[in-house]
Amino acid sequence: MGESKKLTIALAQMDVRPRQAEDNLARARSLAAQAQEAGADLLLLPELWLNGYDLERAKEWAAPVGEGGFARMAEMAQEFGLYVAGSTLERHEGGVSNTAALYAPDGTLLGSYRKVHLFRLMQEPKYLAPGDRAVLCPTPWGPVGLSICYDLRFPELFRAMALAGAILFLVPAQWPVRRLEAWTLLARARAVENELFVATCNRVGADGDVVFPGRSAVIDPWGRALVEGDDQERLLVAQADLREIAKARRYLTVYEDRRPEAYKVIE
């Protein structure tokens, strides 16, 4: 799990305005500066934080890893001395993907993850290429798992990362208010069932008739929200005591009590 036992996580809960990259970047940088001032170790940005959900122009906004929104995250990491994560559009040989990345304070890319589960209600399969693997990023605190929004509904992705040693899941999102109950429930479920920490960062504001409620949170292995936002743009900060992971697993021995050999359906 690493030598560091406490991790201060900041969530950049912000409005993400489609086609207004410079404005989105300016507000992200302002929140990064606040995170630095608050003594945060890691900053999580929302899903598609730079260009928003303008999928019809996804090819125009997309950039290879190392350029575009990825380069902006690396620059923020270096400038503000933070680990920085979030998702942006990636252009690659197979098309365009919604890709999350985590950068170290020196600007090093620790890992990138292409969204595996594409959301049909937002026509993602029409414009985006899905990823095909889970990703863990090495950090001084332990392995950190990347995911994006709709992935929350697929517990098998998170269990795979937990079994591989994850101590924290990062979930950038643009999750609408009409499914707010599912947002809060699923994030807590992923933390409780895997007995680790979950950090979610959801956007606020509106895109046409779709309203986004924020409610970003850092959730501990017991399912408790260490911090939870409202529907306003703001920085949220919480300190995760990673010793709670071992404490939870000693109390409820979920991993020892698993029986994978029995998880087969008999017809």
Digit-coded pLDDT (tens) for 209-253: 999 999 999 999 999 999 999 999 999 999 999 999 999 999 999
β partners of residue 211: 206
Instruction: Decide if 154 is inside a domain.
Output: yes
Residue 266 pLDDT class (50, 70, 90 cuts): confident
Instruction: Decide if 66 is inside a domain.
Output: yes
Give the pLDDT confidence of 25-51 residue by residue, as tens digits.
999 999 999 999 999 999 999 999 999
Residue 256 annotated as catalytic = no
The residue behind tokens 């001084």 is 140
CA-CA distance, 83 to 239, in Å (whole number)? 15
Q: What confidence score (pLDDT) does residue 2 get?
A: 43
The residue behind tokens 């589960």 is 117
Q: Which of 90, 124, 137, 149 is catalytic?
A: 149
Residue 137 annotated as catalytic = no
Nearest to 135, CA basis, from 89, 181, 102: 102
Q: How many domains does the chain have?
A: 1
* CATH code (residue 46): 3.60.110.10
Residue 119 pLDDT class (50, 70, 90 cuts): very high
Residue 115 annotated as catalytic = yes
Asked whether residue 1 carries a pLDDT value surpassing 80, the answer given is no
Residue 96 pLDDT class (50, 70, 90 cuts): very high
Contact 63, 97 (CB under 8 A): no
Instruction: Decide if 155 is inside a domain.
Output: yes
Residue 144 token pair: 């950190």
Full residue range of the structural domain in which residue 201 is found: 6-253
Could you please report the per-residue DSSP string of 26-92? HHHHHHHHHHHHTT-SEEE--TTTTT-S-GGGHHHH-B-TTSHHHHHHHHHHHHHT-EEEEEEEEEE
Instruction: Decide if 79 is inside a domain.
Output: yes
Contact 172, 217 (CB under 8 A): no
Instruction: Decide if 134 is inside a domain.
Output: yes
Q: What confidence score (pLDDT) does residue 3 get?
A: 53
Instruction: Decide if 260 is inside a domain.
Output: no
Q: How many CB atoms lie within 10 A of CB 226?
A: 18
Instruction: Decide if 26 is inside a domain.
Output: yes
The residue behind tokens 């994850």 is 166
Sign of CA dihedral 27, 33, 35, 37: negative
Contact 85, 43 (CB under 8 A): yes
Burial track 29-66 (b if 16+ CB lie within 10 A, e otherwise): bebbebbbeeebbbbbbbbbbbbbbbbeebeebbbebe
Instruction: Decide if 266 is inside a domain.
Output: no
Distance from the first to the final alpha carbon of the chain:
41
